[in-house]
A and B are shown apart, each in its own frame.
Chain A
Amino acid sequence: AQSVSQHNHHVILSEAASLELGCNYSYGGTVNLFWYVQYPGQHLQLLLKYFSGDPLVKGIKGFEAEFIKSKFSFNLRKPSVQWSDTAEYFCAVKRSGAGSYQLTFGKGTKLSVIP
């Protein structure tokens, strides 16, 4: 079975600082990778996803993530964070291909951006 590790439980940054949130997964086969965000009081929303092709994926709100297959990693980055990026961020993985519907989530990283 696949698993996901997010290294940071809580990250605190000042506005305009650069962000990198770590995500590693374990699974021997081909995977699809996702980052979800949950703003305070709101539902989970998809930030970006990787299925195949260019390992550098761009998502909404200036976020991007890079899939490094050799490191089993899919780190989330943003060059300059804003106060409105304060939220909890979840990395998730799914076995690629038909017949697999479940996402496996990491524990999440809480991001607090200080104005």
Chain B
Amino acid sequence: EPEVTQTPSHQVTQMGQEVILRCVPISNHLYFYWYRQILGQKVEFLVSFYNNEISEKSEIFDDQFSVERPDGSNFTLKIRSTKLEDSAMYFCASSSRGFNEKLFFGSGTQLSVL
């Protein structure tokens, strides 16, 4: 089965630093998503992205966050100035034709903000 790839698997950063989490969605997919899970809490939706723009975002996705598809294969999540509470597992997902289709999730990037 095709896979969504996320790198790195674990990232450690200092508070206030910028981080970029990288994802390679499945090649023919058109819809892209970021979710996160803070330890012991629910998996939470951050943002969806289609046709080079944000389709929907949650309250968590404030001005510190941005997403980009810089080329035909990568989908990135940038956190401009990390806070301690940004420590979480970040999951990228993609789907072929949108909201009614199966989401394929990556294995996640564990972000630790010190």
User: In the complex, what residues of A have CB within 8 A of residue B55's CB?
Assistant: 101
Judge whether A98 and B45 touch: CB under 8 Å.
Answer: no
Question: Which B residues fall within an 8 A CB radius of A?
Answer: 3-4, 31, 33, 35, 41-45, 48, 55-56, 58, 91, 93, 98-100, 102-103, 105-108
Question: In the complex, which of the residues B3, B41, B103, B107 contacts A103, with contact meaning CB atoms closer than 8 Å?
Answer: B103
Enumerate A61-94 residues with CB–CB distance to B below 8 Å.
Answer: 90, 92, 94
The 7 closest A-B pairs by CB, nearest first: A101-B48, A102-B45, A44-B105, A105-B43, A43-B107, A43-B105, A101-B56
CB distance from A94 to the nearest CB of B (A): 7
A36 contacts which chain B residues (CB < 8 A)? Answer: 105
In the assembled complex, the Cα of A90 lies from the Cα of B89 at a distance in Å of: 15
Number of interface residues of A (CB under 8 A): 24
Chain A's closest residue to B48 (CB) is A101
Q: Which residues of A contact B33 (CB under 8 A)?
A: 101-102
